[in-house]
Protein backbone atom coordinates (compact mmCIF):
# COMPACT_ATOMS: atom_id res chain seq x y z
CA UNK A 1 0.00 0.00 0.00
CA UNK A 2 1.05 3.60 -0.54
CA UNK A 3 2.15 5.32 2.63
CA UNK A 4 1.50 8.82 3.92
CA UNK A 5 4.14 11.47 3.70
CA UNK A 6 4.01 11.87 7.45
CA UNK A 7 6.17 14.97 7.57
CA UNK A 8 3.72 16.93 5.49
CA UNK A 9 0.67 15.07 6.70
CA UNK A 10 -0.38 14.49 3.14
CA UNK A 11 -3.56 12.55 2.68
CA UNK A 12 -3.83 9.77 0.11
CA UNK A 13 -6.60 7.18 -0.31
CA UNK A 14 -4.25 4.78 1.49
CA UNK A 15 -2.73 7.01 4.18
CA UNK A 16 -5.07 5.42 6.74
CA UNK A 17 -2.74 2.45 6.62
CA UNK A 18 -0.17 4.31 8.70
CA UNK A 19 -2.60 4.88 11.59
CA UNK A 20 -3.98 2.61 14.25
CA UNK A 21 -6.70 0.46 12.72
CA UNK A 22 -9.71 -0.46 14.83
CA UNK A 23 -12.36 -3.11 14.16
CA UNK A 24 -10.64 -4.62 11.13
CA UNK A 25 -9.31 -8.17 11.45
CA UNK A 26 -5.92 -9.10 9.96
CA UNK A 27 -5.91 -10.92 6.65
CA UNK A 28 -3.69 -14.03 6.62
CA UNK A 29 -2.21 -13.50 3.19
CA UNK A 30 -0.91 -10.02 2.25
CA UNK A 31 -0.36 -11.24 -1.33
CA UNK A 32 -3.96 -12.33 -1.76
CA UNK A 33 -5.18 -9.13 -0.13
CA UNK A 34 -3.13 -7.03 -2.52
CA UNK A 35 -4.40 -9.01 -5.53
CA UNK A 36 -8.06 -8.49 -4.55
CA UNK A 37 -7.51 -4.86 -3.62
CA UNK A 38 -5.88 -4.17 -7.01
CA UNK A 39 -8.71 -5.99 -8.76
CA UNK A 40 -11.26 -3.82 -6.98
CA UNK A 41 -9.32 -0.68 -7.84
CA UNK A 42 -9.76 -1.41 -11.52
CA UNK A 43 -13.49 -1.94 -11.49
CA UNK A 44 -15.83 0.84 -12.55
CA UNK A 45 -17.33 2.98 -9.80
CA UNK A 46 -20.79 2.29 -8.38
CA UNK A 47 -21.92 5.91 -8.05
CA UNK A 48 -20.96 9.24 -9.60
CA UNK A 49 -19.56 12.46 -8.17
CA UNK A 50 -22.55 14.48 -9.40
CA UNK A 51 -24.97 12.21 -7.53
CA UNK A 52 -22.81 12.67 -4.44
CA UNK A 53 -22.82 16.46 -4.87
CA UNK A 54 -26.61 16.43 -5.30
CA UNK A 55 -26.98 14.54 -2.04
CA UNK A 56 -24.65 16.94 -0.25
CA UNK A 57 -26.94 19.80 -1.31
CA UNK A 58 -30.02 18.00 -0.02
CA UNK A 59 -28.33 17.37 3.32
CA UNK A 60 -27.41 21.05 3.54
CA UNK A 61 -31.05 21.97 2.79
CA UNK A 62 -32.34 19.64 5.50
CA UNK A 63 -29.86 21.13 8.00
CA UNK A 64 -31.29 24.53 7.15
CA UNK A 65 -34.84 23.37 7.80
CA UNK A 66 -35.79 22.76 4.18
CA UNK A 67 -36.21 19.02 4.08
CA UNK A 68 -35.77 15.81 6.00
CA UNK A 69 -33.32 12.93 5.52
CA UNK A 70 -34.62 9.43 6.02
CA UNK A 71 -31.86 6.83 6.21
CA UNK A 72 -32.76 3.19 6.72
CA UNK A 73 -32.15 -0.44 5.93
CA UNK A 74 -30.62 -3.62 7.27
CA UNK A 75 -28.21 -3.63 10.17
CA UNK A 76 -26.05 -5.80 7.93
CA UNK A 77 -26.76 -6.90 4.40
CA UNK A 78 -25.65 -10.44 3.63
CA UNK A 79 -24.53 -11.97 0.36
CA UNK A 80 -27.25 -14.61 0.41
CA UNK A 81 -30.06 -12.07 0.76
CA UNK A 82 -28.98 -10.10 -2.31
CA UNK A 83 -32.12 -11.01 -4.24
CA UNK A 84 -35.05 -9.36 -5.95
CA UNK A 85 -37.55 -9.97 -3.16
CA UNK A 86 -35.47 -8.31 -0.44
CA UNK A 87 -34.50 -5.33 -2.53
CA UNK A 88 -38.05 -4.70 -3.75
CA UNK A 89 -39.47 -4.99 -0.24
CA UNK A 90 -36.92 -2.64 1.28
CA UNK A 91 -37.39 -0.10 -1.46
CA UNK A 92 -41.16 -0.34 -1.15
CA UNK A 93 -41.18 0.30 2.59
CA UNK A 94 -38.70 3.20 2.31
CA UNK A 95 -40.73 4.73 -0.49
CA UNK A 96 -44.02 4.43 1.37
CA UNK A 97 -42.44 5.80 4.55
CA UNK A 98 -41.16 8.75 2.56
CA UNK A 99 -44.65 9.40 1.14
CA UNK A 100 -46.01 9.46 4.68
CA UNK A 101 -43.31 11.92 5.80
CA UNK A 102 -43.66 14.17 2.74
CA UNK A 103 -47.41 14.29 3.07
CA UNK A 104 -47.51 14.87 6.80
CA UNK A 105 -44.53 17.19 7.12
CA UNK A 106 -45.01 19.03 3.87
CA UNK A 107 -41.30 19.05 3.22
CA UNK A 108 -38.99 17.29 0.71
CA UNK A 109 -37.67 13.97 1.98
CA UNK A 110 -34.34 12.49 0.91
CA UNK A 111 -34.20 8.70 0.97
CA UNK A 112 -30.91 7.02 1.80
CA UNK A 113 -30.69 3.24 2.09
CA UNK A 114 -28.31 1.34 4.33
CA UNK A 115 -27.80 -0.73 1.22
CA UNK A 116 -25.48 -1.77 -1.61
CA UNK A 117 -22.38 -2.01 0.58
CA UNK A 118 -23.59 -2.34 4.18
CA UNK A 119 -21.63 -5.55 4.58
CA UNK A 120 -19.18 -4.83 7.41
CA UNK A 121 -19.92 -4.70 11.16
CA UNK A 122 -18.05 -3.45 14.20
CA UNK A 123 -18.27 -5.94 17.07
CA UNK A 124 -18.03 -5.48 20.82
CA UNK A 125 -15.94 -8.65 21.15
CA UNK A 126 -13.21 -10.04 18.88
CA UNK A 127 -14.11 -13.62 19.75
CA UNK A 128 -17.20 -15.73 20.23
CA UNK A 129 -17.47 -18.89 22.30
CA UNK A 130 -18.76 -21.87 20.35
CA UNK A 131 -18.91 -24.97 22.53
CA UNK A 132 -15.48 -25.11 24.16
CA UNK A 133 -13.79 -23.13 21.40
CA UNK A 134 -13.15 -19.45 20.93
CA UNK A 135 -13.55 -18.43 17.30
CA UNK A 136 -13.29 -14.96 15.72
CA UNK A 137 -16.55 -12.99 15.74
CA UNK A 138 -18.62 -12.59 12.60
CA UNK A 139 -17.81 -9.13 11.19
CA UNK A 140 -20.18 -9.00 8.26
CA UNK A 141 -19.96 -10.73 4.89
CA UNK A 142 -17.36 -8.23 3.71
CA UNK A 143 -14.89 -9.83 6.15
CA UNK A 144 -15.95 -13.39 7.00
CA UNK A 145 -18.81 -15.87 7.08
CA UNK A 146 -21.61 -16.16 9.64
CA UNK A 147 -21.08 -19.92 9.88
CA UNK A 148 -19.59 -20.59 13.36
CA UNK A 149 -16.41 -22.44 12.42
CA UNK A 150 -12.81 -21.35 12.71
CA UNK A 151 -12.25 -21.59 8.98
CA UNK A 152 -15.43 -19.71 8.00
CA UNK A 153 -14.52 -16.87 10.34
CA UNK A 154 -11.14 -16.28 8.68
CA UNK A 155 -11.06 -12.83 7.04
CA UNK A 156 -11.16 -13.58 3.32
CA UNK A 157 -9.96 -10.97 0.77
CA UNK A 158 -12.11 -12.54 -1.98
CA UNK A 159 -15.06 -11.06 -0.11
CA UNK A 160 -13.94 -7.54 -1.09
CA UNK A 161 -14.72 -8.40 -4.68
CA UNK A 162 -17.89 -10.30 -3.90
CA UNK A 163 -19.21 -7.36 -1.85
CA UNK A 164 -18.51 -5.05 -4.77
CA UNK A 165 -20.31 -7.38 -7.16
CA UNK A 166 -23.35 -7.78 -4.90
CA UNK A 167 -23.46 -4.02 -4.33
CA UNK A 168 -23.31 -3.43 -8.08
CA UNK A 169 -26.18 -5.87 -8.67
CA UNK A 170 -28.21 -4.27 -5.91
CA UNK A 171 -27.66 -0.73 -7.16
CA UNK A 172 -28.32 -1.75 -10.73
CA UNK A 173 -31.69 -3.19 -9.77
CA UNK A 174 -32.54 -0.16 -7.60
CA UNK A 175 -31.70 2.17 -10.47
CA UNK A 176 -33.94 0.23 -12.86
CA UNK A 177 -36.80 0.17 -10.39
CA UNK A 178 -36.65 3.84 -9.50
CA UNK A 179 -35.96 5.20 -12.96
CA UNK A 180 -39.24 5.79 -14.73
CA UNK A 181 -40.50 2.24 -14.37
CA UNK A 182 -43.65 1.01 -12.76
CA UNK A 183 -42.11 0.85 -9.33
CA UNK A 184 -43.33 4.24 -8.26
CA UNK A 185 -46.79 2.70 -8.57
CA UNK A 186 -46.04 1.66 -5.02
CA UNK A 187 -47.94 4.78 -4.14
CA UNK A 188 -51.10 3.18 -5.49
CA UNK A 189 -53.64 1.92 -2.94
CA UNK A 190 -53.34 -1.79 -3.71
CA UNK A 191 -49.73 -1.76 -2.51
CA UNK A 192 -50.41 -0.39 0.94
CA UNK A 193 -51.09 -2.85 3.71
CA UNK A 194 -53.12 -1.06 6.31
CA UNK A 195 -55.18 -3.47 8.31
CA UNK A 196 -52.60 -3.95 11.05
CA UNK A 197 -53.01 -0.29 12.06
CA UNK A 198 -56.61 -0.99 13.12
CA UNK A 199 -55.26 -1.82 16.57
CA UNK A 200 -53.52 1.54 16.85
CA UNK A 201 -55.23 4.48 18.52
CA UNK A 202 -54.32 6.62 15.52
CA UNK A 203 -55.94 4.32 12.94
CA UNK A 204 -58.55 6.86 11.79
CA UNK A 205 -55.88 9.53 11.34
CA UNK A 206 -53.63 7.06 9.54
CA UNK A 207 -56.36 5.85 7.17
CA UNK A 208 -57.29 9.40 6.33
CA UNK A 209 -53.66 10.21 5.60
CA UNK A 210 -53.25 7.25 3.21
CA UNK A 211 -56.48 8.22 1.40
CA UNK A 212 -55.27 11.76 1.16
CA UNK A 213 -51.92 10.61 -0.32
CA UNK A 214 -53.80 8.62 -2.97
CA UNK A 215 -56.05 11.55 -3.67
CA UNK A 216 -53.09 13.89 -4.15
CA UNK A 217 -51.34 11.44 -6.47
CA UNK A 218 -54.48 10.84 -8.58
CA UNK A 219 -54.95 14.59 -8.81
CA UNK A 220 -51.41 15.16 -10.09
CA UNK A 221 -51.68 12.24 -12.50
CA UNK A 222 -54.94 13.57 -13.89
CA UNK A 223 -54.13 17.21 -14.35
CA UNK A 224 -50.49 17.13 -15.22
CA UNK A 225 -49.11 14.27 -17.30
CA UNK A 226 -45.64 15.81 -17.10
CA UNK A 227 -45.66 15.61 -13.34
CA UNK A 228 -46.38 11.90 -13.63
CA UNK A 229 -42.86 11.62 -14.89
CA UNK A 230 -41.63 13.22 -11.69
CA UNK A 231 -43.68 10.81 -9.65
CA UNK A 232 -42.23 7.86 -11.48
CA UNK A 233 -38.63 8.91 -11.00
CA UNK A 234 -37.59 8.41 -7.44
CA UNK A 235 -34.34 9.76 -6.01
CA UNK A 236 -32.62 7.19 -3.90
CA UNK A 237 -29.14 7.18 -2.38
CA UNK A 238 -26.90 4.47 -0.97
CA UNK A 239 -24.91 4.53 2.27
CA UNK A 240 -22.84 2.15 4.35
CA UNK A 241 -20.50 2.22 7.32
CA UNK A 242 -16.99 2.79 5.95
CA UNK A 243 -15.50 0.09 8.15
CA UNK A 244 -13.47 -2.10 5.83
CA UNK A 245 -11.11 0.57 4.57
CA UNK A 246 -9.66 -1.67 1.86
CA UNK A 247 -13.10 -1.78 0.29
CA UNK A 248 -13.77 1.96 0.53
CA UNK A 249 -10.30 3.14 -0.43
CA UNK A 250 -10.10 0.88 -3.52
CA UNK A 251 -13.01 2.83 -4.99
CA UNK A 252 -11.70 6.24 -3.92
CA UNK A 253 -10.69 8.31 -6.95
CA UNK A 254 -10.31 11.65 -8.58
CA UNK A 255 -12.88 12.46 -11.25
CA UNK A 256 -12.63 14.89 -14.17
CA UNK A 257 -13.78 18.49 -13.56
CA UNK A 258 -14.00 18.15 -9.78
CA UNK A 259 -11.38 18.74 -7.15
CA UNK A 260 -10.43 16.16 -4.57
CA UNK A 261 -11.17 12.49 -4.14
CA UNK A 262 -14.56 10.79 -4.03
CA UNK A 263 -15.49 7.46 -2.48
CA UNK A 264 -17.37 6.12 -5.49
CA UNK A 265 -18.57 2.93 -3.79
CA UNK A 266 -21.43 4.79 -2.09
CA UNK A 267 -23.01 8.22 -1.86
CA UNK A 268 -22.72 8.65 1.88
CA UNK A 269 -20.31 6.62 3.97
CA UNK A 270 -20.58 6.97 7.72
CA UNK A 271 -18.14 6.48 10.54
CA UNK A 272 -19.29 4.24 13.36
CA UNK A 273 -19.37 4.98 17.05
CA UNK A 274 -16.49 2.55 17.59
CA UNK A 275 -14.14 3.81 14.88
CA UNK A 276 -14.19 7.58 15.35
CA UNK A 277 -10.87 7.86 17.24
CA UNK A 278 -9.24 11.17 16.26
CA UNK A 279 -5.90 9.51 15.51
CA UNK A 280 -7.36 6.32 14.07
CA UNK A 281 -7.36 4.95 10.53
CA UNK A 282 -11.07 5.53 9.85
CA UNK A 283 -10.96 9.23 10.63
CA UNK A 284 -7.78 9.57 8.56
CA UNK A 285 -9.54 7.99 5.57
CA UNK A 286 -12.73 10.02 5.94
CA UNK A 287 -10.98 13.36 6.22
CA UNK A 288 -9.75 13.18 2.63
CA UNK A 289 -12.89 12.30 0.71
CA UNK A 290 -15.42 14.75 -0.72
CA UNK A 291 -18.59 12.77 0.06
CA UNK A 292 -21.06 13.93 2.67
CA UNK A 293 -20.34 11.79 5.71
CA UNK A 294 -22.23 10.63 8.77
CA UNK A 295 -20.71 10.43 12.25
CA UNK A 296 -22.38 8.26 14.86
CA UNK A 297 -22.24 9.78 18.33
CA UNK A 298 -23.14 7.80 21.40
CA UNK A 299 -21.57 6.91 24.73
CA UNK A 300 -18.74 6.90 25.54
CA UNK A 301 -17.72 10.25 24.11
CA UNK A 302 -16.37 13.64 25.11
CA UNK A 303 -17.94 16.78 23.70
CA UNK A 304 -14.49 18.28 23.02
CA UNK A 305 -13.47 15.21 21.11
CA UNK A 306 -16.54 15.47 18.87
CA UNK A 307 -15.74 19.14 18.20
CA UNK A 308 -12.19 18.23 17.20
CA UNK A 309 -13.56 15.50 14.98
CA UNK A 310 -15.89 17.88 13.14
CA UNK A 311 -13.06 20.37 12.75
CA UNK A 312 -10.79 17.68 11.34
CA UNK A 313 -13.39 16.22 8.99
CA UNK A 314 -14.81 19.54 7.83
CA UNK A 315 -12.08 22.18 8.26
CA UNK A 316 -13.77 24.62 5.87
CA UNK A 317 -17.19 24.13 7.45
CA UNK A 318 -18.84 23.20 4.19
CA UNK A 319 -22.61 22.83 4.38
CA UNK A 320 -23.93 19.32 3.85
CA UNK A 321 -20.63 17.65 4.67
CA UNK A 322 -21.39 16.40 8.20
CA UNK A 323 -24.44 14.58 9.51
CA UNK A 324 -24.22 13.99 13.26
CA UNK A 325 -26.23 10.87 13.99
CA UNK A 326 -26.90 10.77 17.73
CA UNK A 327 -27.69 7.39 19.31
CA UNK A 328 -27.97 7.86 23.05
CA UNK A 329 -30.93 5.66 23.90
CA UNK A 330 -34.32 6.42 25.40
CA UNK A 331 -34.05 8.43 28.66
CA UNK A 332 -30.41 9.27 28.02
CA UNK A 333 -31.13 11.87 25.37
CA UNK A 334 -31.82 14.72 27.79
CA UNK A 335 -28.62 13.98 29.68
CA UNK A 336 -26.36 13.93 26.60
CA UNK A 337 -27.83 15.89 23.73
CA UNK A 338 -28.20 19.47 25.06
CA UNK A 339 -24.48 19.84 25.87
CA UNK A 340 -23.48 18.51 22.50
CA UNK A 341 -25.85 20.83 20.67
CA UNK A 342 -24.67 23.85 22.67
CA UNK A 343 -21.01 23.08 22.04
CA UNK A 344 -21.57 22.59 18.29
CA UNK A 345 -23.50 25.86 18.15
CA UNK A 346 -20.88 27.75 20.13
CA UNK A 347 -18.23 26.52 17.73
CA UNK A 348 -20.37 27.77 14.84
CA UNK A 349 -20.30 24.37 13.12
CA UNK A 350 -22.80 23.57 10.44
CA UNK A 351 -24.18 20.03 10.77
CA UNK A 352 -27.32 18.10 9.96
CA UNK A 353 -28.70 16.60 13.16
CA UNK A 354 -30.07 13.11 12.72
CA UNK A 355 -31.28 10.59 15.29
CA UNK A 356 -30.49 6.88 15.33
CA UNK A 357 -33.03 5.59 17.88
CA UNK A 358 -31.98 1.97 17.36
CA UNK A 359 -28.44 1.44 18.66
CA UNK A 360 -28.96 2.94 22.11
CA UNK A 361 -32.03 0.79 22.72
CA UNK A 362 -30.89 -2.79 22.16
CA UNK A 363 -31.36 -5.30 24.96
CA UNK A 364 -31.41 -9.07 25.40
CA UNK A 365 -34.52 -10.92 26.58
CA UNK A 366 -34.25 -13.40 29.45
CA UNK A 367 -33.69 -16.14 26.91
CA UNK A 368 -30.86 -14.13 25.32
CA UNK A 369 -32.60 -12.83 22.18
CA UNK A 370 -31.36 -9.42 21.04
CA UNK A 371 -34.30 -7.07 20.56
CA UNK A 372 -35.55 -3.48 20.73
CA UNK A 373 -38.91 -2.18 21.89
CA UNK A 374 -40.99 -0.08 19.51
CA UNK A 375 -41.87 2.32 22.33
CA UNK A 376 -38.22 2.86 23.32
CA UNK A 377 -37.35 3.66 19.70
CA UNK A 378 -40.25 6.07 19.47
CA UNK A 379 -39.47 7.54 22.90
CA UNK A 380 -35.88 8.19 21.86
CA UNK A 381 -37.09 10.06 18.76
CA UNK A 382 -39.65 12.04 20.77
CA UNK A 383 -37.06 13.12 23.31
CA UNK A 384 -34.64 14.05 20.55
CA UNK A 385 -37.28 16.23 18.87
CA UNK A 386 -38.02 17.88 22.22
CA UNK A 387 -34.40 18.65 23.02
CA UNK A 388 -33.82 20.16 19.58
CA UNK A 389 -36.92 22.26 19.94
CA UNK A 390 -35.81 23.64 23.29
CA UNK A 391 -32.28 24.30 22.00
CA UNK A 392 -33.66 25.99 18.89
CA UNK A 393 -32.00 23.54 16.54
CA UNK A 394 -33.54 21.28 13.94
CA UNK A 395 -33.76 17.51 13.97
CA UNK A 396 -33.51 17.05 10.22
CA UNK A 397 -33.20 13.30 9.87
CA UNK A 398 -33.60 9.80 11.26
CA UNK A 399 -31.46 6.70 10.87
CA UNK A 400 -33.34 3.41 11.26
CA UNK A 401 -32.68 -0.30 11.00
CA UNK A 402 -35.60 -1.84 9.17
CA UNK A 403 -36.58 -4.29 6.50
CA UNK A 404 -39.56 -4.62 4.17
CA UNK A 405 -40.20 -8.21 5.24
CA UNK A 406 -42.42 -9.65 7.89
CA UNK A 407 -39.68 -10.37 10.43
CA UNK A 408 -40.14 -10.67 14.19
CA UNK A 409 -37.08 -8.94 15.66
CA UNK A 410 -38.35 -5.85 17.52
CA UNK A 411 -41.17 -6.04 20.06
CA UNK A 412 -44.22 -3.78 20.14
CA UNK A 413 -46.02 -1.71 17.55
CA UNK A 414 -49.69 -1.87 16.63
CA UNK A 415 -49.55 -5.60 16.03
CA UNK A 416 -48.36 -6.14 19.58
CA UNK A 417 -45.47 -8.50 18.85
CA UNK A 418 -44.19 -9.74 22.21
CA UNK A 419 -41.01 -11.48 23.34
CA UNK A 420 -42.60 -14.91 23.00
CA UNK A 421 -43.23 -14.18 19.30
CA UNK A 422 -39.63 -13.18 18.48
CA UNK A 423 -38.68 -16.72 17.45
CA UNK A 424 -41.27 -16.90 14.65
CA UNK A 425 -39.28 -15.16 11.96
CA UNK A 426 -36.06 -13.76 13.43
CA UNK A 427 -33.67 -13.49 10.48
CA UNK A 428 -31.13 -10.77 11.34
CA UNK A 429 -27.48 -11.85 11.70
CA UNK A 430 -26.77 -8.74 13.77
CA UNK A 431 -29.20 -6.20 15.19
CA UNK A 432 -33.03 -6.43 15.31
CA UNK A 433 -34.88 -4.48 12.61
CA UNK A 434 -38.33 -2.94 12.40
CA UNK A 435 -40.55 -4.99 10.08
CA UNK A 436 -42.80 -3.58 7.31
CA UNK A 437 -45.71 -2.74 9.59
CA UNK A 438 -43.57 -1.36 12.41
CA UNK A 439 -41.64 0.79 9.92
CA UNK A 440 -44.76 2.34 8.36
CA UNK A 441 -46.23 2.98 11.79
CA UNK A 442 -42.94 4.53 12.90
CA UNK A 443 -42.91 6.87 9.87
CA UNK A 444 -46.40 7.98 10.74
CA UNK A 445 -45.46 8.63 14.37
CA UNK A 446 -42.22 10.42 13.42
CA UNK A 447 -44.27 12.77 11.24
CA UNK A 448 -46.62 13.29 14.19
CA UNK A 449 -43.69 14.26 16.43
CA UNK A 450 -42.34 16.61 13.78
CA UNK A 451 -45.71 18.35 13.60
CA UNK A 452 -45.98 18.53 17.38
CA UNK A 453 -42.50 20.06 17.66
CA UNK A 454 -43.38 22.63 14.98
CA UNK A 455 -46.77 23.51 16.46
CA UNK A 456 -45.10 24.23 19.78
CA UNK A 457 -42.91 26.72 17.93
CA UNK A 458 -46.00 28.55 16.73
CA UNK A 459 -47.57 28.76 20.19
C1 LIG B 1 -24.71 0.45 12.97
O2 LIG B 1 -25.21 1.49 12.54
O3 LIG B 1 -24.99 -0.67 12.52
C4 LIG B 1 -23.80 0.51 14.13
C5 LIG B 1 -22.98 -0.47 14.44
O6 LIG B 1 -23.95 1.63 14.82
P7 LIG B 1 -22.98 2.37 15.87
O8 LIG B 1 -21.72 2.67 15.14
O9 LIG B 1 -23.78 3.58 16.20
O10 LIG B 1 -22.80 1.43 17.01
CO1 LIG C 1 -26.88 -2.23 13.83
The answer to whether the CB of 406 falls within 8 A of the CB of 436 is: yes
Measured in Å, residue 359 CA sits from the centre of ligand 1 at 6
State which ligand 1 atom lies nearest to the alpha carbon of 430.
3
Name the residue of 120, 241, 244, 286 whose CB sits within 8 Å of the most ligand 1 atoms, as the mutation to test its pocket. 241
pLDDT in tens, 244-303: 999 999 999 999 998 999 999 999 999 999 999 999 999 999 999 999 999 999 999 999
Mean of pLDDT values over 23-34: 97
Measured in Å, residue 75 CA sits from the centre of ligand 2 at 4
Measured in Å, residue 213 CA sits from the centre of ligand 1 at 33
Mean of pLDDT values over 331-346: 98
Measured in Å, residue 230 CA sits from the centre of ligand 2 at 33
Whether residue 426 lies inside any domain: the answer is: no
Output the average pLDDT for the chain.
93
Domain residue limits at 376: 15-190+222-358+372-400
- Reply yes or no on whether the pLDDT at 121 is more than 90: yes
Measured in Å, residue 298 CA sits from the centre of ligand 1 at 9
Q: Which helix (H) or strand (E) holds 240?
A: strand 237-241
Q: How many domains does the chain have?
A: 1
pLDDT given at position 233: 67
Whether residue 210 lies inside any domain: the answer is: no
Measured in Å, residue 3 CA sits from the centre of ligand 2 at 32
Name the residue of 274, 428, 432 whose CB sits within 8 Å of the most ligand 1 atoms, as the mutation to test its pocket. 274
Q: Whose CA is nearest to atom 10 of ligand 1?
A: 273
- Can you tell me the distance from the alpha carbon of 17 to that of 4, in angstroms, rounded to the nearest whole number? 8
pLDDT in tens, 42-95: 999 999 999 999 999 999 999 999 999 999 999 999 999 999 999 999 999 999
Measured in Å, residue 370 CA sits from the centre of ligand 2 at 11
Whether residue 385 lies inside any domain: the answer is: yes
CA angle 209, 215, 216 (to 5 degrees): 90
Name the residue of 356, 360, 400, 402 whose CB sits within 8 Å of the most ligand 1 atoms, as the mutation to test its pocket. 356
Whether residue 99 lies inside any domain: the answer is: yes
Whether residue 148 lies inside any domain: the answer is: yes
pLDDT given at position 3: 42
Q: Whose CA is nearest to atom 8 of ligand 1?
A: 272
CATH of the domain at 293: 3.20.20.70
pLDDT given at position 221: 75
pLDDT in tens, 183-240: 766 666 667 777 888 888 888 888 888 888 888 877 877 887 665 555 566 789 999 9
State which ligand 1 atom lies nearest to the alpha carbon of 327.
9
Residue in 238, 251, 256 with CA at minimum distance from that of residue 44: 251
Whether residue 350 lies inside any domain: the answer is: yes
pLDDT given at position 300: 94
State which ligand 1 atom lies nearest to the alpha carbon of 298.
9
Task: Output the 3-class SS for 115-150.
Answer: CCCCCCCCCCCCEEEECCEEEECCCCCCCCCCCCCC
Whether residue 62 lies inside any domain: the answer is: yes
Residue 24: band (very low, low, confident or very high) from pLDDT cuts 50, 70, 90 = very high
Measured in Å, residue 326 CA sits from the centre of ligand 1 at 10
Name the residue of 327, 355, 380 whose CB sits within 8 Å of the most ligand 1 atoms, as the mutation to test its pocket. 327
- Return contacts of 392-396, CB within 8 angstroms, 24+ apart: 393/341, 393/345, 393/353, 394/63, 394/64, 394/65, 394/353, 395/353, 395/354, 395/355, 395/450, 395/453, 396/62, 396/63, 396/65, 396/67, 396/68, 396/69, 396/352, 396/353, 396/354
In this structure, the residues whose C-beta lies within 6 A of any atom of ligand 1 are 75, 122, 241, 272-274, 296, 298, 327, 359
Which residues fall within 8 angstroms of residue 64, CB to CB, at 6 or more apart? 319, 394
Q: What is the pTM of this model?
A: 0.95
Q: Which ligand has the minimum distance to the alpha carbon of residue 355? A: 1
Whether residue 240 lies inside any domain: the answer is: yes
Amino acid sequence: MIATDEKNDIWTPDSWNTKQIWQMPEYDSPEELKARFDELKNYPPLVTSWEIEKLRKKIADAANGNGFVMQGGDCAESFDTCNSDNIVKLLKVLLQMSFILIHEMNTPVTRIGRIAGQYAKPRSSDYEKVGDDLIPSYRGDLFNSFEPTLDARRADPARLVEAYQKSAMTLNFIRSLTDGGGFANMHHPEYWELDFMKKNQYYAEYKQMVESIHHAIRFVETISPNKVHTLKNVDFYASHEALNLYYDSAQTRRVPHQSGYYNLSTHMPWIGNRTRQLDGAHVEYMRGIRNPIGIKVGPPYEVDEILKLIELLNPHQEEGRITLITRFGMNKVTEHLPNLIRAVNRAGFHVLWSCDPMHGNTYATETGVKTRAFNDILGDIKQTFEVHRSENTILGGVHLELTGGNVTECVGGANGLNEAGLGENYLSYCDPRLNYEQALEMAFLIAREWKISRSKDII
